[in-house]
Chain A
Amino acid sequence: MTEFNELSRQFQISDLKEQRADLHFFHASKEHAVAVLTSLKEKYGYTHLVFFTVVDHLEKNEFHLTYMLHNYEKHHDMGVVVKIARENVQMESIHHLWPAAATYQQEIREMYGVEFPGSPGLYENFALEGWEDIPPMRRDFDTKEYSDKTYYPRPGRESHDPREYMKENLYPGEAETW
């Protein structure tokens, strides 16, 4: 693939994988990721940031930051995966390339705890309000434990066996004949 071959001469990128004819993925190093994205946008026509998200690989102690770019002329998608360690995780912001990226980064900081220094509105609440636990989309966040801790079990409504209930309350006189 031309883009990949040319970029690999300048940047640390590897593991090109063709998922479909119109969708490729490759890995980029943390240091070179933003430069690779800038080149893809400015030089190779990948002008549309489709999405930006994180996949948590807890067992490998890694986050996989996944940037998906689209080229409207070739109708081709390029997924750039950046592996970073899960502790004190920081990544360079891309809001200067796409203003809409600030929203993605705001959400990722809230849901995964990845910091993007300089990204506008990074510390404002996105979907959560006053959240103090570990970021909830991390795989080590136990939703069941959180729910048991936060909410108390409510006693259910009083229930009856319908047959017995009808016998005792609705047709007390006839019940003996049943």
Chain B
Amino acid sequence: MEYFDFLQLIAKILLVVGVCLGVVPVMVWFERRGAAWMQGRVGPNRVGPFGLLQPLADVVKFIMKEDFTPKNANKFYYYLAPLMALIAPLCALSVIPFGSKAIVNGQEIVLQIAQMDSGVIFILAFAGLEVYPIILAGWASKNKYSVLGALRGSSQIVSYEISMGLALLSMLIVYGSFNPHDMVSWQASKYWGVVVNPFGALVFLISIFAETNRLPFDLPEGESEIVAGYHLEYGAMKFALFFMAEYIAMIMASALISTLFFGGYSLLPGMSQLISMISSHFGFGEVGMTNVTAVFQFVSLCSKVGFFMFLFVWIRWTLPRFRFDQLMDLGWKILFPLSLINLVVVTLMVYFLNK
């Protein structure tokens, strides 16, 4: 591998990981302020302007707390679980493109960490690995509530993976490619995936709520029933890792649904005029134009991801938690058959439209 290739790979990884970890404290703040806003409360407003330094105070609290380990816990797996929780969604992010290409030093850089021909299927692979930290954390803590939470979490994730996979499959048939760049250019040249397959988008949205264990599907944590579920025995920074993992999984899911259904990094309306205005004002050549476009594509993807993060918070404070049998009924008896029917409909649609 050449020096330049290596350097650009490291730069892309640092950008993605940096943005993700940087968004977490903002989301923590926004989650609390959003909750307060929706419930007509004030929310955190004492630490810094608008309570913006609240995440910092949280971090200090997490670090200063006693870092206890339960006596009967299986130590190795107990410490392994939070690490795995953080790694799986970060790996999945490596396939999501955050721009078409940039040109640095005369060399073209594809703005995607891993360019592999299996593309989005790779994301599913890592979404499947998100089950392990939950099972491990619940089992290694040697606590019955943790085990209950782990069982709930893993059965929920495994069940909703099916409808998620079917919704993804219907979009793969529409785009005819695994490659996320192809998907985005298809959507940029025609219409967003959500217009073609709105039902698939809905099923996918519901499934990612279940996959990321967010309300109304946060049964693995269900405070009122099983205390805190699989991370009950985790304190201090170990709990903070689970907390961060949840937000990173949310970012990953939002980026995935934006890429599949909402045009990914394709420019929002009005942006192309802005780009031509900027480049004519500063007199950019073709290279500068490409780079400015890349920046705007990144902004476009980020704004879409931001909207979905807002949606996650919005729904969390709007809908109450499901009961476990309702959750399973929704997954197996409603979403699964409906997404199968949707798959058939989309297949027929694609066949007759392309004929």
Bound pair: A and B?
no
Mark B residues whose CB is within 8 Å of A.
none
